[in-house]
Chain A
Amino acid sequence: MRKLFTNLLLAALVIAPSTLFSQNCHGTVKYCPNGKKEGFTYNGQSLSGAFIQGDTAEVTIIVYKDMEYRMSLCSPTQYELNGKFEFQVVEKITKPGWKESIKYEMVEEYDEETGEIIGEKKVEKKTRRRVYNKVDVVRYDNKKDEDAQEFIFVSDKTRKLTIKVYIPEVPGIDEGDGLGAEAYACVGLLIEHQPAAKTGFNR
């Protein structure tokens, strides 16, 4: 009985840190510096998560036409990561194209002189179909914007965007053996919105 208890305790000590830590990262995004002073409101598509340095994560969001968005990243648990996040905003765009297919058919073969049927032969028949492929278009890359950690944008259409986030490897942060809580960073992807300013004449 005592041995069983010891084994259970050991198992709990191994499993607990990662489990507890991942749970504790919920709500991380609430601690990220926000744009409330500029009129932005918290957007429910914001996310929090536990990550190891060097990892990459992707999230798909919907952004509406006529809305202005502010996007930023923070880690309240690993300050060394702040200012070093890399992220891209990617959109899948539809591009028209052609798709070729080849099929073979048996056709009657004629004698060149008499015109009589002398048998059958296999001929190649090519067809092409109109297809619409999705290609990834990078809308924004913070590495091309002096590693900016916040990004404000508007869109002329409602769109589906994928945010690709890279958690940098920063020297000095103890990565432990990969099992301890110190190996993880709580990261928040804060998304905020406000109605976009209207330009032009209005009646």
Chain B
Amino acid sequence: MKKNMLKWNVIALIGLVVGFSSCGEEAKPEENKEKVIVEDDVEDTTVLDIPELDPDMAYSVPTPNELFTIIKETGVAYDASVLNSPDNREKYTNKKNQALNFGVYFADLAFASSFEEHASILGYFGTIKVLSDELGISNALDAAIYERVETSLENEDSDSLMFLSNDTYFQAYSYLEDNERGSTLALIVLGGWIESLYIMTNLGEYEEGSNLVARIGEQKLTVGNLMGFMMKYQDDADVAEVMEELADIEELFWSFEEVEGDDASTSQEGDVYVFSGGSTIVVSAEQYEKLKELVSDLRNDIVEGEL
């Protein structure tokens, strides 16, 4: 009998059967469970859009590097005052706090790198290097990374700095996977995401329809993937604890309304496909303020080493 042992990294994918028969260029529904019935007594209600997480699915979470590349395009200005000071590193004395704040500092590094804030970059690389020693993952990182960063800074080579920042994250990520340390990885990913949200919600006030608010609302999609990713490691007490701390933020995101737009369509411009249509996530002023408050509380617990 053929034995199915599949792995997308640390994630087992078992027995998935998929039909590969649909059209490529035209978007077409695979299944349609809609049922329209005309009867008396009409009530109009919306079912909350809470995703069913599939334990056999691999969930990926975008890195802070990618997110801040997008955030920069919204026109917001860099603000170093919202970042976690490297001086706080000494507060992190256990593995949970070290892993969470490794993620926090990585998000800070990604923010500084995206905005080419060279003065901050070296400090964050240095802090990440020390934390990686404490987490026992320093072997994963390029021994010469610090020198390469210094060279790039001297040459004011921003592309190279972004590459080094991205590569450092990848090296740490791969090393933790290779060494079956998924729970540490889950804490790093969560720390990075919370810090990214904290930075975003502190870059501007609520403005209906603004690019920044739209970007923050879109994190509703990411929170589902984040929880799907962390679910695999929730047997670890530290992961379970931070997932519980995240619950209020997760539930708030589910309350963000999704407004239907044009029908889904796929077109082609040269070699590039263009996906259009579908829903847009809308955030109210009250939801924005509540999110800002919840994220700030959790983030401050993390950076103060109190979680």
Contact = CB atoms under 8 A, between A and B. Distances in A.
Contacts of A140: 24, 266, 273
Contacts of B1: 178
B60 interface: yes
A13 interface: no
What class of interface size applies to chain A in its complex with B?
A: 35 or more
Interface stretch (B2-10, B75-83, B115-123, B202-210): B2-10
Contacts of A195: 69, 73
Given A66-B73, A94-B279, A155-B275, A137 B30 contact: yes
Nearest to A199: B269
A57 B8 contact: yes
Contacts of A144: 23-25
A50 B39 contact: no
B57 A59 contact: yes
A153 B177 contact: no
A134 to B, nearest CB: 8
A100 B201 CA distance: 41
A74 B22 CA distance: 23
What class of interface size applies to chain B in its complex with A?
A: 35 or more
B43 to A, nearest CB: 5
Contact of A130 (B20, B25, B45): B45
B18 interface: yes
Interface in A8-51: 18, 22-23, 25-27, 41-45, 47-51
Nearest to A136: B30
Interface string A78-107: 000000001010110111111110000000
Interface of B: 1-9, 11, 13, 16-18, 20, 22-25, 27-47, 49, 54, 56-63, 65-67, 69-70, 73, 162-163, 166-167, 169-170, 173-174, 177-178, 215, 218, 221-222, 224-225, 228, 258, 260-261, 264, 266, 271-280
Interface of A: 18, 22-23, 25-27, 41-45, 47-52, 54-62, 64-68, 86, 88, 90-91, 93-100, 125-133, 135-145, 151-160, 162, 164, 166, 175, 178-179, 183-184, 189, 193, 195
